[in-house]
């Protein structure tokens, strides 16, 4: 093995110029470790950004971790890029960068652009590749027609390490490929259009759920290789299931091998803790005002979209990025140049990120987890919006769960929690989330948030789900909720799939399948998800009976659906409801059906009468079962 580093560069002057100006969005093609051929000799090219370094060397098993034999060369252009070619190295080589700062501090760092990392708790990078012979061209070709904002989007949010463990050993993770074998038929059975993975990027601390990332370009080795993850995504695509990844540009941990003080300086983060340290998560906030950092992050977003063929990114903790005083007390934050609390650098970054994503991949989804009333999160950047495609509707989620937790006898006093959402429902393109955060840390599972005995809990849960699937907006449900998991989510074990042996849980999963089927089959539920004229209250004031009635509308008036919710255990016989059309109305879905563990109370729907009611020209009489939801449509 040659004990030297050759001068070599993948960077052109234009690359360097783009990087330094914050406009290079394909940095993964240049930085990191790349197996290449130089003058007929195979080896590995390394490059890393470390402007405060006086020396950078590559150390690994190949040189017995000697920090002196394989030193990289610093570029002449003051870009802070160190690079070089080491002959004889191949994929699979384990390495770190040995960095000596200008102040003499010695650091050992993993490669920020590594495509693979050692299995935690080990922390070295591994020379690897994202080459894969993809077989999902048909999905990619048709993706634009499948996933537009006027199409059904029903997301199954999941954490790969705790969805299902090895049947032979519950302590062992499944490989991405084994997950594919179990997950694809399960998603097809449940009927979701997309899965969303909690962060799959490499993270040292498993209980962080993946939100404390050290390897932004490395799929975690806990579940296999990059190609194994690609196989999982490909199998989902082959079955017309989209893939969304959680992405975390908001903060990173202080692990010694990670980005924190990478070259002995505050390179990726702010030096001033009032801007650079996150008090809630004890982590570090990216310096969005630094051009090279923006290039790093946007390159990372495009990397997952390009190399892993993912169909969307859900951006975590956007609110923490937007506000300089987020979770801070007085005098613990620095106002912006105009004296305000808005993080103008983060705003600029988010706009640039969304512009880059939709420029390169116009047929994917960019989704914000943003919990405040920041205006224009899903408005185009040219209209001074942030440019996201969708935003989580956190207010709707909080109000809805608060309402359903109430004993039905008290719900008449909380009626407005169910109706208030329509005041602002069309200000943004909203996704309705019942996410992982709602079933952990003492919040209980969704089924145990519901009041009453076992039957009432499941009846309430089905009514909750029917309301979610028929309200305006796209849908997201966290794993386990689809079959009424009784325990809180535990990241250290599999879901309680054994519950599916029992009728209430098995039939709840069947109900989710029926909801997803109707959602995908009925244009009124998705064509105008984000338009005010796609939703109309018919009855929103019957607080005494806790009954809600509304219409969902598509482009064709004949597609209109009538939704009736009776959220008390009392049957509402001959309940008169206004309808827009004459004729018969038939029940498409009844959450009280015995098929879903309901009481199977007989639902009777009269023919319409020319009797105006509830501001509608016609009306029908309906017997509405207890704690139920009904979806009706005009009979053909």
* Contact criterion met (CB below 8 Å) for 620 and 608: yes
Name residue, tokens 């090279």. 292
Q: Rounded CA gap, 193 and 513, in Å?
A: 11
- Helix crossing, 344-360 with 291-307: angle to 10°? 30
Q: How many CB atoms lie within 10 A of CB 198?
A: 25
Among 316, 345, 428, 592, the active-site one is 316
Q: Rounded CA gap, 512 and 114, in Å?
A: 40
Residue 519: burial class (beta carbons within 10 Å; 0-12, 13-18, 19+): buried
Q: What is the H or E stretch that residue 213 is in?
A: none
Q: Rounded CA gap, 236 and 275, in Å?
A: 40
Residues 6 or more apart from 388 whose CB is under 8 A from it?
A: 315, 350, 354, 366, 367, 368, 370, 377, 378, 429
Residue 496: burial class (beta carbons within 10 Å; 0-12, 13-18, 19+): middle
- CA 543 to chain CA centroid, Å, is 35
Could you write out the DSSP letters of every residue in 441-497?
TTS--HHHHS-SSHHHHHHHHHHHHHHHHHSSSEEEEETTGGGT--SPP-TTS---G
Token pair belonging to 77: 């252009």
Which ranges constitute the DSSP H helices of 130-239?
137-146, 160-163, 176-190, 226-238
**For this structure, is 135 an active site residue?**
no
Token pair belonging to 117: 């990392």
Q: Rounded CA gap, 378 and 380, in Å?
A: 7
Which ranges constitute the DSSP H helices of 74-175?
137-146, 160-163
Do strands 474-478 and 201-202 pair parallel, antiparallel, or not at all (unpaired)?
unpaired
Phi-psi sector, 423: left (phi>0), alpha (psi -120 to 50), beta: alpha
Among 369, 370, 399, 539, the active-site one is 369
Q: What share of the chain is helix, strand, coil (3-state, %, to 5)?
A: 30, 25, 45
**For this structure, is 316 an active site residue?**
yes
User: Terminal CA-to-CA distance of the chain, rounded, Å?
Assistant: 78
Catalytically active residues are: 316, 369
């Amino acid at each position: 093995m040659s004990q030297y580093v050759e001068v070599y560069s993948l960077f052109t002057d234009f690359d360097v110029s783009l990087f330094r100006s914050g406009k290079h969005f394909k940095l993964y093609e240049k930085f990191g470790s790349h197996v290449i051929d130089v003058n007929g000799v195979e080896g590995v090219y390394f490059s890393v950004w470390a402007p405060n370094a006086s020396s950078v060397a590559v150390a690994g098993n190949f040189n017995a971790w000697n920090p002196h034999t394989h030193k990289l060369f610093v570029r002449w252009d003051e870009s802070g890029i160190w690079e070089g070619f080491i002959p004889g190295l191949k994929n699979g080589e384990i390495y770190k960068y040995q960095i000596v700062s200008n102040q003499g501090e010695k650091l050992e760092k993993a490669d920020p652009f590594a495509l693979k990392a050692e299995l935690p708790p080990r922390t070295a990078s591994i020379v690897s590749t994202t080459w894969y012979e993809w077989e999902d061209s048909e999905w990619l070709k048709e993706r634009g027609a499948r996933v537009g904002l006027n199409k059904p989007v029903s997301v199954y949010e999941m954490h790969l390490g705790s969805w299902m463990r090895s049947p032979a050993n519950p302590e062992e993770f499944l490989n991405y490929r084994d997950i594919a074998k179990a997950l694809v038929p399960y998603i097809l059975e449940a009927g979701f259009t997309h899965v969303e993975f909690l962060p799959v990027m490499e993270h040292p601390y498993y209980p962080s759920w993946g939100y404390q990332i050290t390897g932004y370009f490395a799929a975690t080795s806990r579940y296999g290789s990059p190609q194994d993850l690609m196989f999982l995504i490909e199998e989902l695509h082959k079955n017309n299931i989209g893939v969304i990844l959680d992405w975390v540009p908001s903060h990173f941990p202080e692990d010694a091998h990670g980005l924190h003080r990478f070259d002995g300086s505050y390179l990726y983060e702010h030096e001033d803790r009032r801007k650079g340290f996150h008090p809630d998560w004890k982590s570090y906030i990216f310096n969005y005002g630094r051009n090279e950092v923006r290039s790093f992050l946007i390159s990372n977003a495009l990397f997952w979209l390009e190399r892993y063929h993912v169909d969307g990114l859900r951006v975590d903790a956007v609110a923490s990025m937007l506000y300089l005083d987020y979770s801070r007390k007085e005098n613990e934050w620095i106002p912006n140049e105009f004296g305000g609390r808005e993080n103008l650098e983060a705003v600029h970054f988010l706009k640039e990120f969304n512009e880059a994503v939709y420029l390169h991949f116009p047929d994917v989804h960019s989704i914000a987890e943003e919990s405040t009333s920041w205006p224009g999160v899903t408005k185009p950047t040219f209209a001074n919006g942030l440019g996201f495609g969708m935003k989580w509707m956190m207010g709707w989620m909080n109000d809805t769960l608060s309402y359903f937790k109430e004993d039905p006898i008290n719900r008449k006093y909380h009626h407005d929690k169910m109706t208030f959402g329509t005041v602002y429902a069309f200000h943004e393109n909203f996704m309705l989330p019942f996410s992982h955060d709602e079933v952990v840390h003492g919040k209980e599972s969704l089924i145990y948030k519901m009041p009453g005995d076992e039957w009432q809990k499941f009846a309430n849960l089905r009514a909750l789900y029917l309301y979610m699937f028929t309200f305006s907006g796209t849908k997201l449900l966290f794993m386990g909720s689809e079959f009424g998991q009784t325990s809180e989510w535990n990241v250290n074990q599999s879901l309680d799939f054994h519950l599916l042996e029992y009728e209430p849980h098995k039939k709840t999963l069947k109900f989710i399948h029926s909801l997803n089927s109707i959602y995908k089959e009925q244009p009124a539920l998705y064509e105008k998800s984000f338009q005010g004229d796609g939703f109309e209250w018919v009855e929103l004031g019957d607080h005494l009976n806790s009954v809600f009635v509304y219409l969902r509308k598509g482009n064709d008036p004949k597609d209109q659906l009538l939704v009736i919710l009776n959220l008390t255990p009392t049957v509402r016989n001959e309940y008169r409801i206004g309808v827009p059309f004459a004729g018969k109305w038939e029940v498409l879905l009844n959450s009280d059906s015995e098929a879903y563990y309901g009481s199977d109370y007989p639902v009777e729907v009269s023919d319409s009468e020319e009797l105006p009611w509830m501001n509608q020209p016609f009306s029908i009489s309906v017997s509405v079962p207890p704690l139920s939801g009904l979806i009706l449509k005009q009979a053909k």
